[in-house]
Chain A
Amino acid sequence: MFDFGVVLNNLEFLLVQGLLGLGAFGGGTLALAVPAIVLGFLLGIFVGLARLARSPLVRLPAAAYVEFFRGVPLVMVIFWIWFIMPQLLGMAIPEYEVALTAFVIFEAAYFGEIVRAGIQSVPRGQVEAAASVGLTGAQTMRWVVLPQALRNMVPSLVTQMIVLFKDTSLASIIGYVDLTKAAQIVNNREIRPLELYLFIAVVYWIFAYSLSRLARRYEHRIQAA
């Protein structure tokens, strides 16, 4: 009944093309996931800091941004970008740019909340102590608050990275050839969905699970410290 030969015969296409993006189609799950995580987090830092700004002119738009993107499905955001970018820029946009833009904009809302919670978890006394030794606001943020906040953020950051990593499978909806799309392509020819989808499930699982183990190890270490 099961025939995992289909996986072995197409292993190179699935992994080299789908996962790494080194085949004729370009694409690739990792080629999308890694930049999306890095850029999403960077934008998230700004969103999180803006959420804590004293001026409502900065704080309220940031709050609206977060509430908006946390209230709509990622698939919807991908369709928006897919449709609206070519209209705004007046030319066709490759799936990669569409997907990356959607992920960065969407995930920055979630990363922003993590950054905000991380900064708020630093005791007020730390800020007061920094002020009393004569540090400016920016110096306090840079040398006292952010280093401690980052440490507190690590567990939820990793969780969000895992979510983002899994979500990159949704880029296959607009035709981006990642691991999921590669499995679909092979399945269209071989019609062995059970084996193929189980196989990519395991590949996704290995990445996500290792990340979560790493996070747990780190958590224990900072708790012990």
Chain B
Amino acid sequence: MARYDYVEKAVKVTRREFLGIVGVAGAVLWTGAYVATDLVQDRTKYIKMRAQGIYKDDEKAKIRQSHNNQAVTDVYKKFAHNPLSHLAEELFHTN
């Protein structure tokens, strides 16, 4: 014999609880939005990091202008004569 009455508890949210729920939901949405913008910012960040690595390579180079690369000058001296020569046109340009 049932000694108790089953009464369904009404779903009631107090003002305080409601604020809590809204706060949590808001935080979740905000995190999502934050992640999305963060992704694009991060993309720019790693492009910049790689670009910095490249500029570092330039700064530490002993020779910093193409016309001062002795090995390239040698290619012209020993083989291709000079830039835009007939042979250079044939091998290093499209027509």
A binds B: no
B interface residues with partner A (beta carbon < 8 Å): none
A interface residues with partner B (beta carbon < 8 Å): none
